[in-house]
Chains A and B, each alone.
Chain A
């Protein structure tokens, strides 16, 4: 069965610092990978997705993620974090229909000024 692991439950970074949130997946076939963000009181918003092609994908809000098949990873990065990026971030994988997403447990990002 497919699974997603986000090893970091909570990360704190200073505003302006770079950010990398880790995501590892376990799935036999080519995965389709997503990163979602949930701000307090808000729904899950799609940041970016990887289906095929270029392994470095760009998303909204200045985020990017790199698919590394050899490491079964899809880490999310941002070169310079803003205070408004404080939120919970979820990595997710699907087999091919975007209905049945399998999510990780999430990483809560705190940004200090």
Chain B
């Protein structure tokens, strides 16, 4: 069964460093998303991406965040200068269509720890 894969599963980084979280969405999907979950809190929407541009973003997704689809298969989330409060589980998701009928398939997550 096709699945969304994320690498690495766990990343530890020093405060102020840049990190890139990687995702391989399901191959025929066109819509891509990032969510995050700070420990003990809700899963929160960060950004959606379609046709090589951001279609929607939350207030969390400020200038230190960026997303990119560098090639035909990967979808990345970059955090330019990490802060302690960026420590969270980051989930990538993809869907074939946008709208009511679609189902978003989630990856297993990358746990980011900023020290």
Interface on A for B, CB 8 Å cutoff? Answer: 4, 32, 36, 41-46, 49, 51, 90, 92, 96-106
- Residue of A whose beta carbon sits closest to that of B102: A98
Per-residue CB contact flags for chain B residues 100-113 toward chain A (1 = under 8 Å, else 0) read 10111111110000
Q: Which secondary structure dominates where chain A touches chain B?
A: loop
B106–A36 CB distance below 8 A? yes
> Closest Cβ of chain B: how far from A7's Cβ, in Å?
14
B91–A102 CB distance below 8 A? no
Beyond the given pairs A32-B100, A45-B106, A103-B44, 6 more chain A to chain B contacts, judged by CB atoms under 8 angstroms and listed by A's residue number, are A43-B107, A90-B43, A97-B56, A98-B100, A100-B48, A103-B35
Select which of B42, B48, B56, B106 is within 8 A of A44 by beta carbon.
B106
Q: Count residues of B near A (Cβ-Cβ below 8 Å).
A: 31
Interface on B for A, CB 8 Å cutoff? Answer: 3-4, 6, 9, 31, 33, 35, 40-45, 48, 55-56, 58, 91, 93, 95, 98-100, 102-109
Q: A4 to chain B: which residues have CB within 8 Å?
A: 42
> Closest Cβ of chain A: how far from B39's Cβ, in Å?
11
A43–B42 CB distance below 8 A? no
A101–B45 CB distance below 8 A? yes
A54-B45 Cα distance, complex, nearest whole Å: 28
Select which of B44, B91, B98 is within 8 A of A98 by beta carbon.
B98
> Closest Cβ of chain B: how far from A61's Cβ, in Å?
15
A21-B58 Cα distance, complex, nearest whole Å: 28
B100–A42 CB distance below 8 A? no
B102–A43 CB distance below 8 A? no
> Closest Cβ of chain B: how far from A86's Cβ, in Å?
17
A102-B41 Cα distance, complex, nearest whole Å: 12
